[in-house]
Structure formats: C-alpha cells, structure tokens
Amino acid sequence: MSIAGRTAIVGVGSTPYYKRGRSAPQTLPELVCKAIIAAVEDAGLSMTDIDGFASYSGGFDTPYLMETLGIPEVRFTSMLTGSGGGSAGAVGLASAAIVAGLADVVVVIGGVQQALQRFGSVTQSYESLPENAWYEAAGLVGPGHMFALLARRHMHRYGTTREHFAEVAISTRLNAMSHPDALIRKPLTREDYFAAPMLSDPLCLFDFCLESDGAIAVIVTSIERARDLRRKPVVVRGCTQGGEAGWGRSLYWMNMPEDQFLTSGNRSVARDLWRQTGLQPSDIDVAQIYDHFTPMVIAQLEDFGFCGPGEGGPFVASGAIRFDGGSLPVNTDGGQLSGGYIWGMSHIREGVAQIRGDAANQVSGARLALVTGGPSSIPMSALVLGD
C-alpha cells in the first residue's frame, strides 16, 4: 500500500509574513489558529471536520488548539522528529494517517515567531549537551556558521563559486519582487550582492534566509472526499522522509563522509520519492526548494537529480532556475531568502498555488511541483504535488 495519489491538499491558510518580532502582540499559537481558520475556510469545510493534526519541528500543543478552536475530537495527532527538514514530510504524515483510516481531515501546521529567540543565534537557546560541546566551543552559534562549512567544502571540491550563490539569491529576489506576500521586494543586483557584508565567509548577508514570523496550515483529506470540496484538489503524488546515518545530525556533527558532506542530505529521500511516484526529475515543472542558505539550494538540485553531483553551480548559472525562461523555476514566491521564512511551510503553500494555477508567478501549465524540506538533522523530506 502506498500513499501516492491517495490524498489531496484541499485548503491552505496563511497569516501575513512579518519581519522578526513584528507579529506581536499576537502569540505563536494565535498565529497558528489564524492559519487553521483560513485553511478551513479555503477548503469549504467546518472546523469540526478536523480530526487530525500533523506537524514537525517540535509542533504545537494539540489540546490547546482544540480548546481554542472548538475542535470536538481528534483521532490522530503526530509529528515528525527533527526540525525544518520535516516540513514537506508532515504532509506525508497526514496522508499516511488518512490512507490508513486513522483520520479523515488532517491539518498540517507550521509557524515561527522569533521575538524571543532569533534563529541566527539559535544554539544559544539549546540546553548544553555533552555531544554538542565541540561546536559550542568552536563558536558555531547559528546555522549560517555551520552551513558555511559545508558551502566552502563544496566550493573547494567542485569549483562552486559565490557567483553561483549570487544567482540563487538574485533569481529568488526577482520572484519576490512580483509576489504580493513577499517581505523583501527591492531589486537585488550582482553588485548589491558582492557589496553586502560577509557574515560567515563564504556566506554574505544575501545567502541567509530572512528571520520572520508567521504561520501556515494546509488541510489534507482523501482524494475521494477532495473531489466533493470547493477547491480543485492538489493531489499528494508522493511524499518521503528520512536520511542516511552518514548525514545524521549533520551540521551539529560534521563527521559526514566526504561524499555525503557535499550533499544536502536528501539523497535517500530523493531516491525514494522518484521510486514512490514513478516520476523522474525531468517531469517536474516547478520546484520549491528549502532555501535557508543559497548553497543548500544548489546541493539539493544535485541530490534530487536535476543535475549531477557538483554540477549545481553551473546549473543555476545557466539560468535554469529562473522563473523567466528557466527549465525548472525554483522558489517562485521569493522563497525563504526573500519571501518569508515560515520554517518550510511557505514552500508547500506555493506548491499548492502553482498546481491550482493561481500563483502570483504562475508557471504556465504547471502540473507537477516538487517541495523539499531541510537540509538539517534527519529527517529531510520531499513532496510532489500534482493536478
């Protein structure tokens, strides 16, 4: 039994994206509730239809959400381990529950509010653990410091350059400029990119995603029920999660064998995704690639097979990921680099918009959209949405 093609996303709800701290005085659960209310409305369902919750990255307090939203009963409430790598995979978790008959209408939720703790220094909020002493002692305070170590090795081994990182940043910004919900819509030139301050060499300001607040919810139900609802069903063609031990705790570990150190940790997830869906990379019309850092977009393009290992830099330099004329438009909503960082959920939202055909930057005739989660500690995850 496979989950492929058995469920659909029938509703999406989002709060505005806020610059870090600007969502106050709303609380994070309040933002999540607003997203759920909007998703239920979008689907044409009622709040009392929800009987399942799926999340990731620590999740939210299901009984609190039931209490405040008046959801009478749940039959399924589960979460992927790990962090942002599980975002796309939470849709698969919802699908698995529905296909197994454990729930009928599952809401997938994700949200972030950085007023109390910036992600840029997130390790300062972690409890000191014996196994983390080495990266703490090294002064690796935020994910950017850690991913810079991966990026530099990729440059050394494959000849990837800052020009390639710049192309990811610029291509993504161009998409943000024509998307009404994107937080940063100023033009970004190559000159701007190279004039920006280095934060953690080889990563400069524009290689980092935004620090933002917001929440997004998507509603998943069976393909049969989806056909009776008011929005065009967006079919979950497949969804996979996991990772190899050689990637493991990845940036908190750094002992990956070199062939895995150079990846985004998504190789096994990609292999399983193509196997589960019967699709191949050339079938994908548009991709929402988890873009917390520009080099990780390049590594994921390699892992998912849009180009060979080490070829991600030249691939993006060819214009392949541009909305305008690219063979694989990537992060058509401005991504997390320029649109808003909602811990991966914005990528699902945009994947749905592309398949519904009502995206702000609509890829003409898009029928299959890839959405990825991670790179981070296991799990990474990936999702194919289709019409």
Q: Supply 252's token pair.
A: 């908190």
Select 196 or 360, whichever has its Cβ closest to another protein: 196
Q: Is 18 a catalytic residue?
A: no
CA dist 81 to 162, 181, 226, Å? 33, 29, 28
Binder to another protein among 2, 48, 121, 189 (CB under 8 A)? 121
Closest CA to 371 of 294, 232, 275, 269: 269
Q: How far is the CB of 197 from another protein (least distance, A)?
A: 6
**According to the binding rule CB under 8 A, does residue 116 interact with another protein?**
no
Residue span binding another protein (CB under 8 A) among the ranges 12-20, 134-142, 343-351, 366-374: 134-142
Binder to another protein among 61, 67, 163, 201 (CB under 8 A)? 201
**According to the binding rule CB under 8 A, does residue 130 interact with another protein?**
yes
Select 188 or 203, whichever has its Cβ closest to another protein: 203
DSSP 307: S
What is the footprint of another protein within residues 255-274 (CB under 8 A)?
A: 255
Q: How far is the CB of 184 from another protein (least distance, A)?
A: 19
Question: Are 169 and 193 a contacting pair, CB within 8 Å?
Answer: yes
How many Cβ atoms from other residues are within 10 Å of residue 125's Cβ? 10
Q: Cα–Cα distance between 350 and 17 in angstroms, integer?
A: 14
Residue span binding another protein (CB under 8 A) among the ranges 32-40, 143-151, 339-347, 348-356: 143-151
Q: Supply angle C-alpha 286, 343, 159, rounded to 5.
A: 60
The owner of tokens 């799990």 is 379
Select 36 or 140, whichever has its Cβ closest to another protein: 140
Binder to another protein among 118, 185, 225, 367 (CB under 8 A)? 118
> 331: alpha, beta or left, given left = phi > 0 and alpha = psi -120 to 50?
left
**According to the binding rule CB under 8 A, does residue 8 interact with another protein?**
no
**According to the binding rule CB under 8 A, does residue 194 interact with another protein?**
no
**β-bridge pairing 52-55 and 105-112:** parallel
**According to the binding rule CB under 8 A, does residue 195 interact with another protein?**
no
Question: Are 55 and 79 a contacting pair, CB within 8 Å?
Answer: yes
**According to the binding rule CB under 8 A, does residue 254 interact with another protein?**
yes
Q: How far is the CB of 195 from another protein (least distance, A)?
A: 15
Q: How far is the CB of 344 from another protein (least distance, A)?
A: 22
Q: Is 126 a catalytic residue?
A: no
Q: Which amino acid is at 172?
A: T
The catalytic residue among 17, 18, 158, 290 is: 290
End-to-end CA, the chain: 21
**According to the binding rule CB under 8 A, does residue 153 interact with another protein?**
yes
Question: Are 316 and 167 a contacting pair, CB within 8 Å?
Answer: yes
Residue span binding another protein (CB under 8 A) among the ranges 1-9, 144-152, 275-283, 354-362: 144-152
**According to the binding rule CB under 8 A, does residue 136 interact with another protein?**
yes
Select 139 or 365, whichever has its Cβ closest to another protein: 139
Binding string, residues 343-382; x marks residues near another protein by CB under 8 A: ----------------------------------------
> 48: alpha, beta or left, given left = phi > 0 and alpha = psi -120 to 50?
alpha
Residue 245: Cβ-neighbour burial (10 angstroms; 0-12, 13-18, 19+): exposed
CA dist 169 to 9, 41, 123, 333, 372, Å? 29, 34, 25, 13, 18
**Residues taking part in catalysis:** 290, 341
Interacting residues toward another protein by CB under 8 A: 118, 120-121, 124, 128-142, 145, 148-150, 152-153, 156, 197-203, 245, 253-255
